[in-house]
Structure 1
Amino acid sequence: MSNGLVIAAITAVFKNLLEDGLVQNAALSSMGNVLVTTLPPDQISIGVDDQPRLNLFLYQVLQNRNVDLGGRHRNQLAHYQTSTEEGTNTPLAINLHYVLTAYGNKDFQTEILLGYVMHIMHQTPILSNAMIRATLNHVATINRSGLFAQAIESTSVEDLTEQLDQVRITPNLFDTEQMSRLWSLLQGSYRPSIAYEVSMVFIDSKKSLLTSGYNQETLEQPQIHKIVASPTNGKIIAGSSVIICGKNLSGDITLLRLNGGENLLEPQVVEDSRILFKLPQAIYAGHHKIQVVHQPKYKFLNSEQVVSNEKTFILHPTIQVSVDEPTPDIQEQNNSASSTGATQVSFRCLT
């Protein structure tokens, strides 16, 4: 496996995220086609008749010395240390630093582009492993003659994404002095720009991944630990709210599958460690299963989704007590029984 392709892979995913986000934005249609490139800024010049452009440039690669395998699987470090003693390498965790620059030749083009780019990146702060895999398959398919597509033929997308956990994208809002230093280093004509940091990317050998037992799908897969009523001192009944507790529960689009059904249900509140969800009214008492489903945000990723484990909960029945109005036939019987104080009561199990 050519592990050296991970940097190019992240750049390709980042670039495609921008391209897809801009195409889907109807507000940018009046601007025409916006070109997205990954060139050094000193190689870019834009004339009066040139189309507007976004340029994504990787200007720095730094080692992440505080890496803890995403902060979620500390015990994996022991496995890596054992693998090192057996002659394999621990993974090299790196952070990638990009500068994203808008180029325009008409009034407000750069401002509009930067505004929508910041919105896209704010809506997509995490690139999941499934999203990266689907995007790389898409990129390698649409331009088979491109340099990246040819390079990726020497390996496989599965192997390439095997070493990637969830990748986080965070903005670095530089002040004037920091931005001045950066553009002096780039030796290009200054344009309005935004810096982003992408972390964490692992570079290592396939041997160390396999012997360590490191499983990227396990790290990113949502996990349900328990399901409780809301409020927590109550019982789960039809139409009531429940709290799903676990980890990695928040995704690009988070939905719920009840009892393996095809129609997915939308939760009320989604957080990484809990989901608040209101049960339907038309549901029978007894054992039910629920599952968290993460769907990708963009259309070409619809075939890729990540699902959690199924968790069973008990739906308690609802008992309704009512006093029925007696019919004329039994009115006489009730009158005769009135001396005993008897009343006719019926019970119905609603769920």
Structure 2
Amino acid sequence: MSNPLAIAAVTATLRNLLTAGVTADPDLADTVVTMQPLDRARVNGNTANQVNIFLYHVLPSGAWRNMDMPGRVKPGEIAQPPLGLNLYYLITAFGRDNDTQRPFSHQLMGRAMACLNDHPLLSSDEIKTALANNDLWLQLERVRFTLQPFSVEEIAKLWTGFQTQYRLSVAYEAAVVLIESSRAVVAALPVLQRGQGDSGIQSQTNLLSPFPTLEQIVLPPNQTTAQLGDTLTLTGYKLSGNQISVQFSHPLLTTPLTVSASTATDTEITVLLRSDVQAGAPAPNDPAIWPAGAYMVSVVISNKGQIDQTSNAMPLALSPAITTKLPMKAKRAKNGVVTCSLTCSPEVRPEQRVALMVGSQEIQSSPVANQTSQLSFVITGVDPGTYFIRLRVDGVDSQLVDRTTAIPEFDASQKVTIP
């Protein structure tokens, strides 16, 4: 890539570049480009036009630290990284006769800066001919010159360190110079074959959880909430086992309701919305067991000799249903009070919030002291007429929309007439 002559090659190429650029001006044809320290640049009474190049600082290149040399080191091989360097040059102009008749130093500086502005990259041919035996011209990354905008304070500190009088100067950065390490690359023997057909081994991490996981609860067709007696389909993965049961948790239940799965595979479970029968227990789908409202559903998998595994929980809304024959007619007492009495399933508990939605108006239920299916609503502020009704228990409404038709429509039977 480049040998230790790389730094000298950059300096020599810069000298040739400035010599050609500055002397192209007939007024500056006598200019000499030197490469001296600043305290020795203008000696022996020299009063001719002169441009001096001084390499005053060298820093490691942050971009090339610990990077392998391109084209030399292959993946998996070990090699000493190349030495990447940024070079900092100070270009100083000395005018003819010390500018006594004309500001030649200013003219020199203008020509030098214009030359580097038009020619910021060193070409391979320029580097190759500038210094014998250098191989910097083979470097993959080209050397670029960039003007360094120093402040007055920075210039003062710089020249104080030189311990000489200040002269008109500008600073440039040359980056990057790569010096190749002389240490040999450590390269193991190549792999004989990488997988079938030498195409490499393909692998993909398994993003699935190692535990039973529910992804979706599928309701019967044309339903947005579940009802007692429905068959639910639970989909996910790792759901198979010796014994599969589904747990339904509700805030008003001290223990979850447990239902055995009807069918079960590794990715799908079906379950009938009921409670398992035990000795002396109510009927499987007894509405007294299931409060309406929001449930959390999880799957419990039991395998012989192993600890039971429980899946994640997913929400399920169990909607109430009006069991009174509909359409129905509310009653108006002699005192003008309109009362609507109906029965529902599941039964309502005292802790639940119950309302009857008459059209767009919410009518609160009369308080219930015990768990019951008998509800009564005193309707006020509703004009006589026929209205669609919905029973709302803990935020879950009874089903009003008929989705079995091509275009969903309201169920015409779900109405009450207010006299």
- Which of the five TM-score ranges fits, normalised by the shorter chain? 0.3 to 0.5
Larger relative contact order (Cα-Cα within 8 Å, sequence gap ≥ 6): 1
TM-score, normalised relative to structure 1: 0.46
- The structure having more radius of gyration, on CA atoms, is 2
